[in-house]
């Protein structure tokens, strides 16, 4: 029974996650057939900037999910509606702020990236178009988080698939028919995001017929409740910035080594991302179920679901470890046919095999902590791991081990996340119900 509950939440989220790289592959594939690498570079550069911007606002999904799951566990439908209002208002406010600040934001972003003048010019056009999707994108984050908190993973899947399918169809129209180049990809994204906003409102309407009658606007806009919502999201935001910094540092140091090492590390890190699409589904299930049982003050079920989630996480990690061990070379050849890069990657392939076992614990605990709204512990642990483990490990081992030192530092970072969150769980998660 508990296993089926976990899978009902995890599988739709896995499907939703997989649509994201598929969309990126379609966009880059369309650009790759326009006869110039400048279009590929423009979409890759612009897409990377927005990945970091919107990733930083991932707190809207996570914070909303945790609060909603706890209110759901308390059977407090009015509060679930209040949380939705707070989250949506925050999303629209942040989205509008991003549009208003697009010029300084764009200036900073393009100071940090490096590309030819032509590629940067096209990427900047892409940026100035896609930024207008921000309110809709952040609204979708909030709605997906709310649905997960309400123990419904199917509607987020419907929303994600619909948005990405519309995006693909519009990209084909704008690029193949209207010959709009990289700007066509940007416009396809903007229109599909607002399509997702309309679909999200429609899907919410089925819940709102029941919940809306119980909502008191004054309670939803309560200063103290809003401050708590902002405080938790602020901590998750800081935690996410540490993660973004670490991954950006990994890429930057790879680039500083050589173009070959940059290509090798970028390709090998795809193995991590692919694993994350699967294990993140169980992290989302952890958000929903941990929040629900904390909200209902059911410590026995909380402990039981956490144990079961780790069994699933370990099983997924074991499967991926075996796949990477025996088929890693084959997968690498699917990612590139460049013999020099394949040869250069071979000495580092063992890190890929270690990725699932070392990292799965951090994913599962992240979901549990989000469900518990234990944001302060998430923030503090990430600051400690970034500043006192990752950076010292890099500067200690990289001069001795070269690129293996960089990989060792990122693996210590991932492993320490799981270990430290495990050690903090008694106070940060279980003590919530004491």
The residue among 162, 190, 230 whose CA lies nearest residue 99 is 190
The residue among 278, 192, 193, 203 whose CA lies nearest residue 16 is 278
- Banded model confidence at residue 171, pLDDT cuts 50, 70, 90: confident
**CA 324/CA 326 separation, integer angstroms:** 6
pLDDT given at position 256: 76
pLDDT at 338 exceeding the cut of 80 = no
Residue 54: count other Cβ atoms within 10 Å of its Cβ: 18
**CA 357/CA 205 separation, integer angstroms:** 42
* Cα angle 276-282-287, degrees, rounded to a multiple of 5: 115
Non-local CB neighbours of 228 within 8 Å, separated by 6+ positions? none
Q: What percent of the chain has pLDDT over 70?
A: 91
Q: Which helix (H) or strand (E) holds 258?
A: none
Q: Specify the range with the lowest mean pLDDT, choosing from 49-53, 71-75, 318-322, 351-355.
A: 49-53
- Measured between alpha carbons, how far apart are the two ends of the chain, in Å? 26
**CA 234/CA 245 separation, integer angstroms:** 16
The residue among 30, 45, 65 whose CA lies nearest residue 188 is 30
Q: Specify the range with the lowest mean pLDDT, choosing from 171-175, 212-216, 313-317.
A: 212-216
Please give the distance of CA 98 from its chain centroid, rounded to a whole number. 19
Residue 326: count other Cβ atoms within 10 Å of its Cβ: 10
Digit-coded pLDDT (tens) for 314-336: 999 999 999 999 998 888 887 77
pLDDT given at position 39: 62
Average pLDDT value for residue range 413-422: 95
pLDDT at 40 exceeding the cut of 70 = no
- Banded model confidence at residue 31, pLDDT cuts 50, 70, 90: low
pLDDT given at position 253: 84
- Higher per-residue confidence, 358 vs 123: 358
- Banded model confidence at residue 251, pLDDT cuts 50, 70, 90: confident
What are the C-alpha distances in Å from 234 to residues 109, 240, 276, 292?
Answer: 22, 10, 24, 22
Maximum mean pLDDT: which of 263-272, 288-297, 334-343, 385-394? 385-394
Q: What is the DSSP string of 353-380?
A: HHHHHHHHHHHHHHHHHHHTT-HHHHHH
pLDDT at 140 exceeding the cut of 60 = yes
pLDDT at 25 exceeding the cut of 80 = no
**CA 406/CA 218 separation, integer angstroms:** 52
- Banded model confidence at residue 186, pLDDT cuts 50, 70, 90: confident
Q: What is the average pLDDT score of the chain?
A: 86
The dihedral sign for the CA sequence 427, 281, 84, 74: negative
- Banded model confidence at residue 364, pLDDT cuts 50, 70, 90: very high
pLDDT at 122 exceeding the cut of 80 = no
In this prediction the pTM is 0.88
pLDDT given at position 35: 55
- Higher per-residue confidence, 357 vs 116: 357
- Banded model confidence at residue 42, pLDDT cuts 50, 70, 90: low
């Amino acid at each position: 029974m508990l296993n089926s509950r976990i899978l009902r939440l995890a599988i739709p989220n896995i499907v939703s996650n997989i649509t994201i790289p598929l969309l990126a592959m379609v966009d880059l594939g369309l650009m790759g057939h326009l006869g110039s690498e400048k279009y590929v570079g423009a979409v890759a550069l612009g897409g990377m900037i927005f990945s970091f911007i919107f990733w930083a606002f991932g707190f809207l999904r996570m914070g909303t999910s945790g609060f909603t799951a706890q209110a759901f566990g308390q059977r407090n439908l009015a509060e679930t509606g209040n949380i939705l209002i707070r989250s949506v208002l925050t999303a629209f406010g942040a989205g509008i702020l991003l549009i208003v600040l697009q010029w300084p934001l764009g200036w900073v972003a393009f100071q940090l990236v490096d590309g030819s003048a032509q590629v940067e010019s096209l990427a900047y056009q892409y940026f100035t178009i896609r930024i207008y999707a921000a309110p809709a994108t952040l609204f979708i984050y909030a709605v997906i988080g709310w649905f997960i908190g309400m123990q419904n993973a199917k509607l987020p899947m419907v929303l994600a698939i619909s948005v990405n399918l519309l995006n693909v169809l519009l990209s084909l129209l704008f690029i193949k028919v209207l010959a709009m180049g990289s700007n066509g990809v940007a416009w396809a994204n903007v229109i599909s995001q607002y399509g997702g906003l309309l679909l999200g409102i429609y899907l919410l309407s089925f819940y709102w017929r029941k919940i809306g009658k119980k909502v008191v606007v004054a309670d939803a806009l309560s200063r103290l409740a809003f401050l708590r919502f902002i405080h938790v999201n602020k901590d998750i935001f800081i935690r996410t910035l540490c993660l973004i910094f670490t991954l950006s540092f990994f890429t930057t140091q790879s680039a500083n080594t050589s173009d070959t090492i940059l290509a090798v590390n970028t390709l090998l890190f795809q193995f991590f991302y692919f694993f994350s699409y699967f294990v993140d589904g169980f992290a989302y299930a952890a958000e929903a179920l941990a929040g629900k049982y904390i909200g209902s003050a059911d410590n026995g079920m909380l402990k039981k679901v956490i144990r079961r989630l780790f069994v699933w996480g370990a099983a997924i990690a074991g499967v991926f470890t075996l796949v990477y061990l025996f088929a890693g070379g084959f997968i690498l050849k699917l990612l590139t046919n460049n013999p020099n890069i394949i040869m250069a990657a071979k000495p580092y392939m063992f890190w890929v095999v270690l990725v699932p076992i070392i990292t799965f614990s951090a994913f599962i605990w992240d979901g549990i902590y989000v469900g518990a709204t234990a944001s302060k512990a998430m923030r503090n642990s990430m600051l400690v791991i970034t500043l006192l483990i990752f950076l010292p490990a890099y500067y200690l081992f990289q001069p001795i081990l070269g690129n293996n030192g960089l990989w060792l530092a990122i693996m210590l970072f991932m492993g320490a996340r799981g270990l430290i969150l495990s050690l903090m769980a008694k106070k940060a998660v279980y003590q919530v119900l004491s």
